[in-house]
Amino acid sequence: MKIHQKRVAVVVPMHNRSELTPDEQISFRHLTHYLHAYDKYLVVPNSLSIDLPGCSLKRFGDEYFGSVAANTRLLLSETFYRSFSEYQYILIYHLDALVFSDQLEAWCDTELDYIGPPWIHCADSPWVKEARVGNGGLSLRKIESFLKVFHSDVYWMEPEEYWRERYAGMPAYVRMLNLPRRFAKRLSWLNNARLEMSQWHLRPDGTKNEDHFWSDRAKHYVPDFRVASVEVGLRFAFEVAPRLCYDMNHRQLPFGCHAWPRYDRSFWEPYLITPHAA
């Protein structure tokens, strides 16, 4: 940890509206009840007027709000992580998340770079081929490690592999016309993590959310980037199939969960804090 760097802040990405839905109020209630001791920030558009108790504001351009693609662009931007560089970690806490205790310091002590609820193959997420961590809606992120990815000198695509895949089978005149592309791929500023991240939201294969990049691609650029294992991720949080995750986690509740209103809400209802209890 850098001198004078704080340990962790809770970061709540908001929509481009100021009112919370009833379910978002429940999520916010859990946040303030269990994690009241930590610095908390609402990430909001420049144009939004909002005030929630105990929270400071971090403002970004309106273009980063209003859609999943917009949120992905924000959370794949260096500016976002630089704005929290006074902290060693941030806990991303979307307002469809819950926490059930204050284990935040203990999770920071793991020194992992990225922890979130695992993606597992089940009826809720049949697209998952390999169980892994994981979802970004409730996720702990190490700022220094995330910033290293932006400045990696590792190629996005190996230049010769790119050339073989795209042009090796093309007619000679096409290859000649595209020779500048072959050499451009050897320039790191035209073939790096930043460029891949800038285009990530355009991916057509269902992995275009920002958490897929940090889970699956960050290690390509920084080989010692440490993503939690599935077992550790389950102790941290559940998302899909909470009853199955509960069994996989030795019938123990995790630190938190994400998308609780979406996936088997009835499983979580006994643990919800009522306004009176808060």
Convert the pLDDT of each residue in 216-236 to its tens digit. Answer: 999 999 999 999 999 999 999
Q: Tell me the domain boundaries of the chain.
A: 6-152+212-271, 159-188
Residue 184 has what pLDDT? 66
Residue 228 has what pLDDT? 98
User: What is the average pLDDT score of the chain?
Assistant: 92
Q: Which distant-in-sequence residues (6+ apart) come within 8 Å of 196 by Cβ? A: 156, 213, 217
CA–CA separation, 165 vs 162, rounded Å? 5
Q: What is the mean pLDDT of residues 185-198?
A: 82
Terminal CA-to-CA distance of the chain, rounded, Å? 34
3-state helix, strand, coil in the chain (%, to 5): 40, 20, 45
Domain 6-152+212-271 bears CATH identifier 3.90.550: yes
CA–CA separation, 190 vs 150, rounded Å? 13
Q: What is the mean pLDDT of residues 8-37?
A: 96
Residue 178 has what pLDDT? 80
Q: Is the pLDDT of residue 255 over 90?
A: yes
CA distances from 133 to 118, 170, 173, 258 (A): 4, 39, 45, 13
The residue behind tokens 């999520």 is 27
Residue 167 has what pLDDT? 67
Q: Is the pLDDT of residue 163 over 70?
A: no
Q: What is the mean pLDDT of residues 242-271?
A: 98
Q: What is the mean pLDDT of residues 41-53?
A: 96
Q: What is the mean pLDDT of residues 120-135?
A: 94
Residue 159 has what pLDDT? 65
Q: Is 242 exposed, middle or buried (0-12, 13-18, 19+ CB in 10 A)?
A: buried
Residue 206 has what pLDDT? 76
Residue 109 has what pLDDT? 98
CA–CA separation, 114 vs 90, rounded Å? 10
